[in-house]
Amino acid sequence: MKSNIRIIFITLLITGMGVNQANEFNHKTKRVPAEWEPQEATWMQWPGYWEKDHERAFAKIANIISRYQKLHILFHSDQVYADALKALTNIGVDPRDKNIQWHAIPYDNSWMRDNGPVYVLNDKEIRIQNWNFNAWGGAFGSDIPFNLDNSVPDKVGAILGMPVDQIKIVHERGNLEFNGSDTVILNWSTIGDPSRNLDYSKKQAERDLKANFGVAQVVLIEGIPDGDLTKGHIDGIARFISPRTVVIVQCTSRSLCRRDSKDAEIYDKAAKIIEKAGFNVIREPIEGFVKYKDQMFDTNYMNWLVGNGFVIVPGFGNPKTDITAKSRIERYFPDRDVYLVEMLSSWSAGGGVHCHTNDQPALPVSN
């Protein structure tokens, strides 16, 4: 494992952000820290009865996270708690490790990125924002419950003793990508979805996002990749790896999404929009596809999670593409340990490791 202090300073160097600039960020009135900044913890909602297939991947993810930083795990019943303890024990992890904290909190699903808190640094305190959540606009069926999910940020705020602000807009954290200073990138097709926010305009969204996040620039891409029931969450399309650099997925001749496909057009337009907004763009190629049960998936590795000294990437059980993707992502994050966890079960249900986790930033150290 790397030293967290060493990581912070090397990250400042490789991203071109000086110490003075970093301190300037920390003293802004309101901002959302970037995912590569120091974190206090990661949070997860352990899968229940309908999501049992995800458990082994959850255990592996929990094992990695808890070796580097604090991990909070929610469980919504005694049975789920017992199953979680067993899953961790089965892979040789002590479920009562000092870095793992358990919380009996009711919830509906295991996708805490989307119904969990958005953490906002407001002057010298961190506040939680609870955006309305309606199970992805009902995209997975009108019978999918979400009321318990909608209250999770309030419960987390109570545990942490943090103030919680209620945001009366339906949206998910998986569709928000921050550079830690002045910009948020998101997909208009998600937040502008009438099943989420009826009669909502881009102009209103820009005002709301600037006011709630303290950003000066809102970059909106648009388009729904084939089969994406989230309607195009940004964490499967474009990710910041430094304040001025964005990685954007790219279709190839070896992927299901061909270079002349609708998906390729969505990704290529996103690259042009983001580049025009003043960012360096790196294209992340989709080098193959896999079959899982009765579904076919492109090997899109964008849904990674960044933590203190580590990156976890969703794997597809395809050694050729997994190995080359890991190598690329190690170049994106040269001072973090990169792990791949095969999670086709999660991918078949709509997401990866980023979708299952919710990172809590650390309060910056005052000078």
Residue 366 has what pLDDT?
61
pLDDT of residue 18: 39
What pLDDT, on the 0 to 100 scale, is given for residue 271?
98
CB 252 within 8 A of CB 285: yes
Return the pLDDT at 365: 67
Asked whether 243 and 17 are in contact (CB, 8 A), the reply is: yes
Which amino acid appears at position 358 of this protein? N
Q: Phi/psi at 250 (nearest 5 deg)?
A: -140, 130
d(CA 267, CA 159): 39
SS3 138: helix
Contact (CB, 8 A) for 290 and 299: yes
User: pLDDT of the chain along its 367 residues, tens only?
Assistant: 544 434 433 344 334 443 334 334 444 589 999 999 999 999 999 999 889 999 999 999 999 999 999 999 999 999 999 999 999 999 999 999 999 999 999 999 999 999 999 999 998 899 999 999 999 999 999 899 999 999 999 999 999 999 999 999 999 999 999 999 999 999 999 999 999 999 999 999 999 999 999 999 999 999 999 999 999 999 999 999 999 999 999 999 999 998 889 999 999 999 999 999 999 999 999 999 999 999 999 999 999 999 999 999 999 999 999 999 999 999 999 999 999 999 999 999 999 999 999 999 999 866 5
Q: Do 25 and 180 form a contact (C-beta atoms < 8 A)? A: yes
Exposed e or buried b per residue across 189-220, where buried means at least 16 C-beta atoms within 10 angstroms of its C-beta: bbbbbeebbeebeeeebbebbeebbbbebbbb
Indicate the pTM of the whole model. Answer: 0.91
Q: What is the pLDDT of residue 367?
A: 52
CA 178 – CA 161 distance, rounded (Å) = 24
- pLDDT reported for residue 19: 36
User: What is the predicted pLDDT for the residue at 29?
Assistant: 82
Strands 118-122 and 125-132: antiparallel
Beta carbons of 114 and 355 less than 8 angstroms apart: yes
Q: What is the dihedral of CA 44, 233, 120, 272, to 10 degrees?
A: 140
Q: Which of 289, 286, 303, 299 is nearest to 249 (CA)?
A: 286
Mind listing the pLDDT tens digit for each residue in 34-75? 999 999 999 999 999 889 999 999 999 999 999 999 999 999
Long-range contacts of 363-367 (CB under 8 A, 24+ apart): 363/40, 363/121, 363/124, 363/125, 363/126, 364/26, 364/38, 364/121, 366/124, 367/23
Sheet bearing 125-132, strands edge to edge: 30-31, 118-122, 125-132, 164-170
Give one word for 28, left, alpha or beta, with left for phi > 0 and alpha for psi -120 to 50. Answer: beta
Cβ partners under 8 Å of residue 56, min gap 6: 87, 91
